[in-house]
């Protein structure tokens, strides 16, 4: 029997900007994914038990691809996750790392990173860096991730607000932003500068407000998400989309600080950190 438990991720600053060489900062989430593998050497089949995957063929196919890249195994694979799927908290990368650790062993970083690039083409690398290291990291594309110190209580009392499933997948959104990178140079630079300010101990609330405004300029914050964030700001808090966001539909998770859960009007599921 082999087991692996890994975190999700929360990007504090840097969405999309990290694709173009700007720094990004992410922390491991307190929400975890646990995977176990019980080998049966006499079996040529691998059974999978994962309740969240039921009725989600895209995740079934995604997991199948990860396993295929790991090799051929006989036995039973079981997955349990607290991380919301497809909501900007690194669930897809957490699944890669946890499955690889179970099937290939703890010392599988290089192969796991290769599989991440295969199943998540165009990824910036920040998700893999923070989830593998299980520590806050500064990530700059093309450089080794730098483990950094951040206050352990930085997100105490913060809220994760689930605005629903995005209608666009991350690779589609990345391609859309990339083809407009010249016209988006100013908001991308602002997002990169937010990472620098965070390491200079600038007030997190002000950083989030600036970061959110720049994300909206990228076009990846939906109208409903804008309305919710505006409401939070009007009541003295601040918030930003974490992850790729969306053009339409839900916007995945919003991270909000200095605010009360009642502002979400019971419209959205909320996780308190």
Q: Which residues of the chain does CATH 3.30.230.10 include?
A: 2-147
Topology at the third CATH level for domain 159-272: Alpha-Beta Plaits (3.30.70)
CATH placement of domain 2-147: 3.30.230.10
pLDDT at residue 95, as a whole number: 97
pLDDT at residue 114, as a whole number: 97
Question: How would you label 93-118 residue by residue, b for 16+ Cβ within 10 Å and e otherwise?
Answer: bbbbbbbbbbbbeeebeebbbebbee
3 state SS of 138: strand
Q: Which residues of the chain does CATH 3.30.70.890 include?
A: 159-272
pLDDT at residue 194, as a whole number: 96
pLDDT in tens, the chain (273 residues): 999 999 999 999 999 999 999 999 999 999 999 999 999 978 878 999 999 888 889 999 999 999 999 999 999 999 999 998 888 899 999 999 999 999 999 999 999 999 999 999 888 888 999 999 999 999 998 898 899 989 888 899 999 999 998 999 888 999 999 999 999 999 999 999 999 999 887 799 999 999 999 999 999 999 999 999 999 999 999 999 998 999 999 999 999 999 887 766 678 899 988
Rounded CA separation 126/165 (Å)? 21
Task: Give the tokens for residue 230.
Answer: 């505006």
pTM comes to 0.87
Q: Where are the strands (E) in the chain, listed by range? A: 2-13, 24-39, 46-50, 75-81, 137-139, 146-147, 159-162, 238-241, 253-257, 270-272
pLDDT at residue 170, as a whole number: 87
**What Å distances lie between residue 256 and 66, 112, 150, 158, 238, CA to CA?**
33, 32, 18, 6, 6
């Amino acid at each position: 029997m082999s087991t692996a438990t890994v975190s999700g991720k929360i990007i504090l600053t840097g969405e999309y900007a990290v694709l173009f060489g700007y720094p990004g900062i992410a922390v491991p989430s307190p929400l975890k994914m646990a995977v176990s593998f019980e080998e049966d050497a006499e079996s040529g089949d691998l059974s999978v038990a994962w309740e969240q995957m039921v009725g989600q063929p895209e995740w079934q196919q995604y997991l199948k691809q990860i396993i295929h890249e790991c090799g051929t195994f006989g036995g039973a694979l079981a997955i349990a996750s607290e991380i919301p799927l497809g909501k900007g908290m690194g669930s897809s990368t957490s699944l890669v790392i946890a499955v690889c650790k179970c099937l290939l062993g703890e010392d599988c970083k290089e192969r796991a990173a290769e599989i991440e690039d295969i199943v998540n083409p165009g990824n910036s690398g920040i998700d893999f860096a923070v989830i593998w290291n299980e520590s806050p990291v500064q990530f700059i594309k093309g450089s080794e991730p730098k483990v950094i110190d951040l206050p352990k209580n930085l997100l105490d009392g913060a809220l994760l607000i689930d605005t629903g499933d995005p209608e666009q997948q991350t690779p589609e959104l990345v391609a859309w932003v990339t083809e407009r990178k010249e016209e988006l140079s100013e908001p991308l630079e602002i997002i990169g500068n937010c990472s620098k300010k965070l390491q200079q101990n600038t007030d997190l609330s002000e950083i989030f407000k600036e970061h959110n405004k720049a994300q909206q300029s990228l076009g990846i914050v939906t109208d409903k998400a804008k309305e919710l964030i505006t409401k939070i700001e009007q009541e003295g808090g601040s918030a930003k989309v974490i992850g790729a966001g969306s053009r339409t539909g839900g916007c995945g998770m919003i991270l909000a600080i200095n605010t009360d859960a009642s502002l979400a009007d019971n419209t959205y599921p909320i996780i308190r950190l």
